[in-house]
Amino acid sequence: MRKAEGPTIIDVARACGVAASTVSRAFSHPGRVNAATAERIKQTAAEMGYRPNPIAKALPSGRTLMLALVVPDVTNPFFSEMVRGAERHAAAAGYTLVLADTEESPETETTHLDRLSHIVDGIVIGTPRLPDANLAAFADRFPLVLVNRESGSVPCIVIDTPGGMIQAAEHLASLGHRKVAYLSGPRASWADRSRWRALQTAGRRLGITMTRLGPFAPTVAGGTAAAETVVVDGASAVIAFNDLLAIGTMRRLLARGLRIPGDVSVLGCDDVFGADFCHPALTTLAAPVQNAGRLAVDLLLGILGHTAARGSRSRVALPTHLVVRDSTGVPG
């Protein structure tokens, strides 16, 4: 913004021969003002090119009509999808979206949360790395919605990957795998813990030996280290924390001369951009990420008192489904 911009509410008021407050009402509470004058005001306001100043509006009302989305890594397609879902829904509701990237650091996460809380009306935070205590404390004094993380009674949108993990394990079991490795992601990640827990349970039930390898960086680059560990471990199939890690692992495995799925079957999580055109095409547990972003904003708007959703359940679980492609097959 720049000083001395367009006309203010006062200029419009003067032009219409009414008080500034009437102009304000004409816009904010039409109905509390004579229909005819309201129309006349809007008319001249439009002619004068009057545009309400969001900042000035925010000061007394305490609401900026801005929402923030905090993610650990914008370049990760998983989060790009989330950003899109959130941005779309926010824009549709008349909100502006502020984006913050924590680059996987809990400290940056705190800093951003702190700064943003004075600027926006509410925050959606994707796969937070902060401890439960901090999250709870923050949510206590500020509208907050978590995505892909459960923490006390803080409202959240979770993707039921743990549930899907069972399906994934069954898929591998049916192909004949008896020794499966889980390539874990960030230790601070709630998603990682819950996935591993689900996998352990499924393994026991299906008679599969489950081992947990890692942690590895949840990126394509992280797959290099993961692949080495896989070779040593000797599992006939691996389930990666996410698709990026799975893709990176495949690349390295292939480079080391192993066949996929012949020697090792690889299964990812999320079905992000790239999972279908990598080589071999990745079998993965598809997550409705964009939808998660959208619903998170929806939940937040509900908390802010905009939607009928007010007071409804504050934990939404989204189903996943297994997409079988070419990276999994019978062992040997």
Partner DNA sequence: GTGAAAGCGCTAACAC
Partner DNA sequence: GTGTTAGCGCTTTCAC
Q: Which residues are near a second copy by CB under 8 A?
A: 1-3, 5, 51, 53-56, 58-59, 62-64, 66, 74-75, 77, 80-81, 83-84, 87-88, 91, 96-101, 114-121, 141-142, 220, 247, 251, 273-274, 277-279
Please identify which residue in 15, 37, 166, 211 interacts with DNA, judged by CB under 7 A: 37
Residue 204's binding partner, choosing from DNA, a second copy, none, with beta-carbon cut-off 5 to 8 A by kind?
none
Q: Does 18 bind DNA (CB under 7 A)?
A: yes
Give the one entry of a second copy, DNA, none that residue 80 binds, where binding means its C-beta sits below a cut-off of 5 to 8 angstroms depending on kind.
a second copy
38 counts as binding DNA under rule CB under 7 A: yes
- Based on CB atoms, which residue is closest to a second copy, 172 or 220? 220
Find which of DNA, a second copy, none residue 308 binds, CB within 5 to 8 Å per kind. none
- Number of other residues whose CB lies within 10 A of the CB of residue 308: 7
How many residues bind to DNA according to rule CB under 7 A?
A: 30
Task: State the residue for tokens 């490795």.
Answer: 181
Task: Indicate which of DNA, a second copy, none lies near residue 181 (CB less than 5 to 8 Å, by partner kind).
Answer: none
- Taking CB under 7 A as the rule, does residue 59 contact DNA? yes
CA distance 297 to 291: 10
Q: Is residue 259 within 8 Å of 323, Cβ to Cβ?
A: no
Prior bond to 60 cis, omega within 30? no
Do 220 and 282 touch, CB atoms closer than 8 A?
no
Pairing, β 283-286 against β 321-323: antiparallel
Interface region with DNA, contact rule CB under 7 A, candidates 52-60, 174-182, 266-274, 284-292 = 52-60
Residue 247's binding partner, choosing from a second copy, DNA, none, with beta-carbon cut-off 5 to 8 A by kind?
a second copy
8 binds DNA (CB under 7 A): yes
Closest by Cα among 317, 252, 247, 248 to 284: 247
Q: Which is nearer to a second copy, 58 or 166 (CB)?
A: 58
Nearer to a second copy, 277 or 332 (CB): 277
**Alpha carbons within 13 A on the beta-carbon side of 327:** 32
Q: Is the peptide bond preceding residue 331 cis, with omega within 30 degrees of 0?
A: no
Q: Which of 169, 164, 170, 173 is nearest to 182 (CA)?
A: 169
What φ, ψ does residue 233 adopt, rounded to 5°? Answer: -65, -35
Residue type, 212: R
- Tell me how far CA of residue 250 lies from CA of 182, 187, 230, 232, in angstroms: 14, 22, 11, 15
- The CB-of-121 to DNA minimum distance in angstroms stands at 14
**Helix or strand run (H / E) with residue 11:** helix 9-16
Residue number with CB closer to DNA (48 or 309): 48
Q: Is 153 in the site for DNA (CB under 7 A)?
A: no
Nearer to DNA, 42 or 57 (CB): 57
Distance CA 327, CA 310 (A): 44
22 binds DNA (CB under 7 A): yes
Q: Which residues bind DNA (CB under 7 A)?
A: 3-5, 8-10, 17-22, 24-25, 27-29, 32-34, 37-38, 50, 52-53, 56-57, 59-61
